Amino acid sequence: MVNYLYIHVPFCIAKCHYCDFYSVPVENAGPDATGKYVRTLLKEMKLREGSAGNLKTVYLGGGTPTLLSGSQVADILSGAREIFALVPRAEISIEANPGTVSEAQLAAFRESGVNRISIGVQSLADHELCVLGRRHKVKDAFAAFRAARSAGFDNISLDLIYGIPGQSMDAWENTVSSALDLSPEHVSAYELTPEESTPLQVELAEGVYALPDELLVTEMYYAVIEKMKKYGYLHYEISNFAKPAYECAHNLNYWNRGEYLGIGAGAHSYFDGKRSGTLRDLARYVESIEGGTVPVDEEVNITEQDEFKEMIFLGLRKIEGIDLRLMPESGKLLTNKAVDDLIHHGLIEIKDQYLRLTAKGLVLSTEVMVRILNQP
């Protein structure tokens, strides 16, 4: 039984320059677009009834889920409770963009059962936000955090980005320190990744901006790791830090290769040995659900080989690493010549039956994964 539910809210005020998730400008989505969408989500849940239950987590991601009103979120969650049922103290997260949330709205979210909020702060320097194409200012981020606290959120996560064009080490350390001053329960620190055909990638290709030097970006990463540890956070995944017991259960499920159900246009699911995605087209998604069919756009059968690959590249993302005792063919891994080489180069280590990246290996994780996968 699938115990993890993801709900995609594909609306934004405007697209950020680096984002390649599916979303549409809410202005162009027609009258009452969000209301219509919420009703469709409820219908999809109904269509999916039986494929998930006893939910341990619900995650409202986007897009910008905070473009939904308090009552719309409440409708979604009561639908989820009714159709799938939630376990007591289930983790219910919502992503929030500063500048789109009011205190009243946050209070309503809290009221409806949302107990974790992830705020897309990204940077605490206005000119960097501008480069990223974010619509909010630094003061909005602080305001959103304070509003969330006063609305009663005691599990707040902040998203931060480093490696922004023009960003210095000082600027990054300042962003991290200022964020830590707020004492969030969780921090995600991502390196800026120019995804295919995003405006950022075009700007980089055209030379409008240049990414900071690779060495500097690596140092930024090591700097945030050090700082977070100093402040008592656990580094539990390549880009994620949490105060003890505040790891994101929903995301951990992805890295543990657990099953999940994704609801909404452009949402992804994994269950019954298949990874699938729903149509990334709002109008056609709505139309299809109205007609009683979930529009599955892409569906991939996960073979045993894929499974092995996933275990490697998802498992190694966790700082604790891959539990070799849980790996069906771990023997194969231990005799892998690449693994030997990587251990020799100090990029991975095996300790207490766990295979994991070393500090040096963290910044070369993709290289490590590719090398292990390359060996038969």
Q: What is the 3-state secondary structure (H, E, C) of 106-120?
A: HHHHHHHCCCEEEEE
Site membership for other proteins, residue 298 (CB under 8 A): yes
Among 136, 125, 109, 128, which Cα is nearest to 14's? Answer: 136
Site membership for other proteins, residue 374 (CB under 8 A): yes
- Which residues lie closer than 8 Å to 177 by C-beta, 6 or more apart? 227
My answer on whether omega of the bond before 63 falls inside 30° of 0, hence cis, is yes
Site membership for other proteins, residue 92 (CB under 8 A): no
Q: Which stretch binds other proteins (CB under 8 A): 43-51, 99-107, 165-173, 248-256?
A: 248-256
Instruction: Assess contact for 77 and 110: CB atoms under 8 A.
Output: no
- Interface pick for other proteins out of 227, 255, 319, 321 (rule CB under 8 A): 255
- Interface pick for other proteins out of 135, 223, 345, 349 (rule CB under 8 A): 345
Number of residues that bind other proteins (CB under 8 A): 47
Q: Which stretch binds other proteins (CB under 8 A): 30-38, 138-146, 165-173, 365-373?
A: 365-373
CA distance 224 to 230: 10
- Radius of gyration of the chain measured on its C-alpha atoms: 21
Site membership for other proteins, residue 370 (CB under 8 A): yes
Q: Which stretch binds other proteins (CB under 8 A): 69-77, 97-105, 140-148, 251-259?
A: 251-259
CB 181, min distance to other proteins, A: 24
Site membership for other proteins, residue 308 (CB under 8 A): no
Nearer to other proteins, 111 or 307 (CB): 307
Site membership for other proteins, residue 210 (CB under 8 A): no
Q: Which stretch binds other proteins (CB under 8 A): 109-117, 121-129, 178-186, 259-267?
A: 259-267
126 is written with which tokens?
Answer: 């206005």
Site membership for other proteins, residue 317 (CB under 8 A): yes
CB 93, min distance to other proteins, A: 12
CB 271, min distance to other proteins, A: 11
Site membership for other proteins, residue 214 (CB under 8 A): yes
Among 98, 34, 31, which Cα is nearest to 68's? Answer: 34
Among 126, 138, 238, which Cα is nearest to 187's? Answer: 238
- Which x/- pattern, by CB under 8 A, does the window 168-207 give for other proteins? ----------------------xxxx--------------
Among 75, 83, 72, 94, which Cα is nearest to 8's? Answer: 94
- Interface pick for other proteins out of 204, 314, 324, 350 (rule CB under 8 A): 314
- Interface pick for other proteins out of 67, 76, 327, 347 (rule CB under 8 A): 347
Site membership for other proteins, residue 301 (CB under 8 A): no
- Interface pick for other proteins out of 275, 323, 336, 350 (rule CB under 8 A): 275
CA distance 337 to 56: 39
Residue numbers 106-125 binding other proteins by CB under 8 A: none
Neighbouring-strand partners of residue 260: 270
Q: Where are the alpha helices (DSSP H) in the chain?
A: 33-47, 70-83, 103-112, 126-132, 138-150, 169-181, 199-205, 214-230, 249-255, 282-290, 304-315, 330-334, 337-344, 359-362, 365-374
Site membership for other proteins, residue 364 (CB under 8 A): yes
Residue numbers 14-33 binding other proteins by CB under 8 A: 21
How many alpha carbons fall within 13 Å on the CB side of residue 208? 11
Residue 326 CA to chain centroid, in angstroms? 25
Site membership for other proteins, residue 260 (CB under 8 A): yes
Residue numbers 221-240 binding other proteins by CB under 8 A: 221, 238-239
82-110-5 Cα angle (round to 5): 45
Neighbouring-strand partners of residue 237: 240, 318
Q: Which residues bind other proteins (CB under 8 A)?
A: 6, 21, 190-193, 214-215, 217-218, 221, 238-239, 251, 254-255, 260, 262, 266-268, 270, 275, 277, 298, 300, 306, 309-310, 313-314, 317, 341-342, 345, 347, 362-367, 369-371, 373-374
